[in-house]
Chain A
Amino acid sequence: MTLKRILSRIGALIINAFVMLLSLSSIFPIVWLIYSSLKTEREFALNIAALPAHPTFENYINAIKTAKMHIYFFNSLFTTVVSVILIVLFSFVVGYFFARYRFTGRNLLYTMFLAGMLIPIHALLVPMFVEFKVLGLLDKRITLILPYVGLGLPMAIFLMENFIKDIPHEIEEAAYIDGATLTTTLFRIILPICKPIISTVVILSSLSSWNEFSFALVLIKSDALKTLPVGLTNFTSQYTVKYTQLMAAITIAILPVIVVYLIFNKKVIQGLVAGAVKG
């Protein structure tokens, strides 16, 4: 009995140690990156693993001064915010009409939108580049918003439609009897009910816009309009690589995401999983 207990104690210890090791290895690279960004290049070269003895923000100042990280940051923020607002608005309206009405062309539109989830985005990259080039849409402030909204729609519409389907019809009937127009019903009554699914759509689309790389790489050429992920690749090609400065630049790119995740982690996890599994 006691031997068995000792053995199961040891087993439990091994299991816990194993999972703890795995957990630590999932964040260690990020932690290493962040604390190394607070070292000087010389201190980092001396011992790459040690904690910074005299933490300094010099790298951050340089990342902003020489690599213009603040411009990329603003571009990412602008693109993400505008894209997310439009995705929420469009997907809510389209999702509502899909959920509530059968109209001519509904099934065609429905299939068209949902098929979008199956298309590998790289199949669109070349033709979109050409299309944009012909129409003079490359390298503009709205350039990236166009694909981000379009590509974000299928999943968002699907989630919205699923959610609105389950809202009882009586709500709209009552509103109609009270004399509400469709627009009032839509935005004053249905929209607030959809809050939970809207927050899921916001999470999904802001993460994918903030993190998007391929379209930003191909459609944007001028430094003033680049987003963070592309700005980072700039960093390694344009300047002699100062590792700690690169680390500071990466930290600038990931810190907002990490902070939001740490605050809303349950919601973020739910949102991402709902998006993936339902899609």
Chain B
Amino acid sequence: MERGLFKPKSRVFIGYLVLPVLWYVFVVVMPLILAFNYSLYDWSGGPRMRFVGLSNYAELIKDTDFWLSFKNNIIITLLCIVGQIGIAFILAALMTTRVLKFKEFHRTVIFLPVVLSAVVIGFIWTLMYNQQIGILNWILRAIGLESLIKPWLDDPKIVIYSVSVPLIWQYIGFYLVILMASLQSIPKEIFEAAEIDGADGFKRTIYIILPLLADTLKVSVMLCIAGNMKVFDHIYVMTGGGPGKSSMVMAQYAYNNSFIMFKLGYGSTISVGILVLSLAIILLSRKLMGGKRQ
């Protein structure tokens, strides 16, 4: 590796690396260690810190609200896998056909929401869902579907779906671009040969594009899972986890416990719980799909 390369003295190494390493340890490694530490205390942020051992964890395991929020994370993730990757896949397949026009335009426009902040997306959709001034109800009324008008973010039965729509909507373009990048590395001859053999439309998609994209689809699913385990900003802005706890997700639950109820000890326990569950799910799904990275 460094064969023939000038090797500097160790103080040069230290000189260059000390600042970035300390910085990183200070804001990532230390808090991680502290999280485990605080999770063993009953602590509301004041000087009184009572060591309680693993009892916070025992509480977490019995905490139905936490598991409800975990379930909501799972629901959102599944909806996003189907919605984002599904729609992106159909679009990517259409992008390989000659029939589709304005491909560049579509790609640019569909990707645009990806670069916006989650908070802004949350606000825009809160406005769209609004009862009086929401454009969504306006459209439903305009096309004569008034019966479908609902209190989108206020009905506990549907709110989890309502909050998933903006999430799906925002990231379709992201998966579209990933899938397109991998389709572009496939020789055009394959598609041409398939066309000559009479494979078109549906057949072509199922027998040619799907297997060719299998690895990329696996990576996309992993990204989708990792992303949705930490979903917070959208939910915070749109519902704050409500009404009641019907759209509560893990990160929002940790936030509420730590910064609204000031249970910093238990909040840390929840954070560790999120860490463990997210890693477990990512590893599990990787195993299930037998997927290799990239």
Contact = CB atoms under 8 A, between A and B. Distances in A.
Contacts of B124: 29-30, 33, 250
A26 interface: yes
Given A102-B1, A126-B254, A273-B181, A19 B106 contact: yes
B233 A214 contact: yes
Interface string A114-138: 0010111111111111110000000
Interface string A221-256: 000000011001100100000010011001001100
Contact of B13 (A101, A151, A173, A232): A101
A27 B140 CA distance: 18
A45 B25 CA distance: 52
A85 interface: no
B2 to A, nearest CB: 5
Interface in B57-98: 87, 91, 94, 97
B24 A116 contact: yes
A146 B219 contact: no
A12 B97 CA distance: 10
A57 interface: no
Nearest to A186: B16
A23 B105 contact: yes
Contacts of A49: 135, 138, 142
Nearest to A148: B27
B208 interface: no
B178 A229 contact: no
Interface in A22-63: 22-27, 29-30, 32-33, 44-45, 48-49
Nearest to A231: B119
Contacts of A94: 17, 20-21
B128 interface: yes
Contacts of A122: 230, 232, 250-251, 254-255, 271, 274
A16 B101 contact: yes
Contacts of B27: 124, 128, 146-147, 149-151
Given A109-B17, A169-B5, A151 B111 contact: no
Contacts, number: 263
A101 B229 CA distance: 36
B10 A103 contact: yes
A247 B236 CA distance: 18
Given A23-B109, A150-B23, A169-B5, A268 B115 contact: yes
B16 to A, nearest CB: 5
Contact of A123 (B112, B233, B272, B294): B272
Given A26-B169, A90-B23, A127 B268 contact: yes
Given A147-B27, A214-B232, A273-B178, A229 B5 contact: no
Contacts of A124: 27-28, 31-32, 35, 271
Interface residues of A, number: 89
Nearest to A33: B124
Nearest to A236: B123
A94 B127 CA distance: 44
B229 A120 contact: yes
Nearest to A208: B117
B109 A27 contact: yes
B254 A276 contact: no
B169 to A, nearest CB: 7
A33 B127 contact: yes
Contacts of B32: 119, 123-124, 127
Given A213-B118, A261-B115, A100 B1 contact: yes
Contacts of A20: 102, 106
Interface in B1-40: 1-8, 10, 12-13, 16-17, 19-21, 23-32, 34-35, 37-38
A232 B135 CA distance: 21
Given A16-B101, A33-B124, A123-B272, A257 B118 contact: no
Interface string A201-221: 000000100111110011000
A1 B172 CA distance: 38
A193 interface: no
B100 interface: yes
B177 interface: yes
B26 A265 contact: no
Contact of B110 (A23, A153, A236, A273): A23
A247 B106 contact: no
What are the 9 tightest A-B residue pairs by CB atom distance, in nearest-first order?
Answer: A150-B27, A211-B117, A127-B34, A127-B31, A90-B20, A229-B119, A123-B271, A123-B275, A122-B251
Given A118-B282, A131-B26, 4 more contacts: A100-B1, A103-B13, A112-B24, A243-B127
11 contacts: A23-B106, A24-B109, A29-B135, A48-B138, A49-B142, A120-B278, A169-B5, A176-B6, A211-B120, A213-B119, A258-B115
